[in-house]
Amino acid sequence: MTTVDNFEAGGQDRTKLTISYILYLVGFVFPLAALAGLVLAYMQNPSGHRQFIIRTFWMGLLMTFVGGILTFFLIGWFVLLFWAIWNLVRIFSGWGILGDAKDISNPKTWGLMAK
């Protein structure tokens, strides 16, 4: 059974991935929730969504680290604003594709939208 079949059949994989996306959203208010979403994503079967969620976390962590350092030079605030928008768009686009019972075709992208 392929990963696309798992999404078409629904089941626990889709539910756990949905919870991971929700935890990422809650992570804007409670950062440890995003970490819980990361752990949950690592526990999933290999899929494009799993890889997309994990990469979103690590790339976002890098952006917040760089943005935090650059806030001393004021440009960091723009980096952090970009991170927030980038993160929200990736979460909602990935969640939307999951809701359509499809897998992400290019989970390694740095882009805004999941495809």
pLDDT tens digits, residue range 16-69?
899 999 999 999 999 999 999 999 999 987 888 899 999 999 999 999 999 999
Query: What is the rounded average pLDDT of the residues 102-113?
Result: 85
Residue 47's pLDDT is 82
Which helix (H) or strand (E) is 72 found in, with range?
A: none
DSSP state letter for 44: S
pLDDT tens digits, residue range 30-40?
999 999 999 99
The CA distance from 83 to 79, in Å, is 6
pLDDT tens digits, residue range 75-96?
999 999 999 999 999 999 999 9
* Average model confidence (pLDDT) across the chain: 87
The CA distance from 87 to 83, in Å, is 6
Residue 1 in 3-state DSSP?
A: coil
Q: Where are the domains of the chain?
A: 3-99
Q: Contact, 53 vs 36, CB < 8 A?
A: no
Token digits for 60? Answer: 């976002």
Residue 48's pLDDT is 87
